[in-house]
Chain A
Amino acid sequence: GEDVEQSLFLSVREGDSSVINCTYTDSSSTYLYWYKQEPGAGLQLLTYIFSNMDMKQDQRLTVLLNKKDKHLSLRIADTQTGDSAIYFCAEILSLGKLIFGAGTRLAVHP
């Protein structure tokens, strides 16, 4: 069945780069997403990548996609305390059904 896996926790120093990794199983997924969840809030779409792309850059965010290994990563450059949150990787199946990973909690310390 479909499954999305991510590491559960990442701690970085303010100003460093953060890299959050994700693996997915459905090679037919057309889009892969990164959502951000701040404490007590809903999910906010951060960025997405189409499956025929290898890389997408959006300001401090870089998404890398390795279709062969079904591996997705999110790099946040110059990580700030405001980036502390849970980050969810998700793949989309037919009819718009999203399959989420368990989420990676990013902690940014001074």
Chain B
Amino acid sequence: DAGITQSPRYKITETGRQVTLMCHQTWSHSYMFWYRQDLGHGLRLIYYSAAADITDKGEVPDGYVVSRSKTENFPLTLESATRSQTSVYFCASSEEGGTFFTQYFGPGTRLLVL
């Protein structure tokens, strides 16, 4: 009954390092999403995935890479972290991608880039 989990919950890294944030869901939902939350901006979509091996860009994809080799996992990689990527990152999943399906959110990963 885990639902959707994210790891790590907190991460401190340095500029230029590669960082991978993990997201895992146990519902076998088709769609998964990555958002970042910044003060004054609400949540903004980084990438989403409609199924395994199908991914697409959201509103703010620059500097991020995603993959989805298995339905239940959707890792987000910062290839060369920058200070502007300091944020709280949320993963979400939904059964389908249409407008009728609720998105369920993970607890978030707080990332600090020094």
Contacts and interface: CB of A to CB of B under 8 A. Distances in A.
Interface of A: 4, 8, 29-31, 33, 35, 40-45, 48, 88, 92-98, 100-103
B43 A100 contact: yes
Contacts of A40: 107
Contacts of A33: 102
Contacts of B61: none
Q: Which of A35, A43, A93 has the most CB of B within 10 A?
A: A43
B58 A97 contact: yes
B84 interface: no
Contacts of A101: 42
Contacts of A4: 42
A95 B50 contact: yes
A40 B96 CA distance: 27
B35 to A, nearest CB: 8
A96 B50 CA distance: 10
Contacts of A103: 42
Contacts, number: 61
Nearest to B39: A102
Contacts of A42: 90, 105-108
Contacts of B108: 41-42
A13 B64 CA distance: 43
A96 B98 contact: yes
A100 B37 CA distance: 10
B48 interface: yes
A48 B103 CA distance: 12
Interface in B70-114: 90, 92, 94, 96-108
A95 B45 CA distance: 12
Given A41-B107, A41-B108, A42-B108, A92 B99 contact: yes
Q: Which of B41, B43, B50, B97 has the most CB of A within 10 A?
A: B43
A102 B97 contact: no
Nearest to A102: B42
Nearest to A44: B105
Contacts of B44: 100
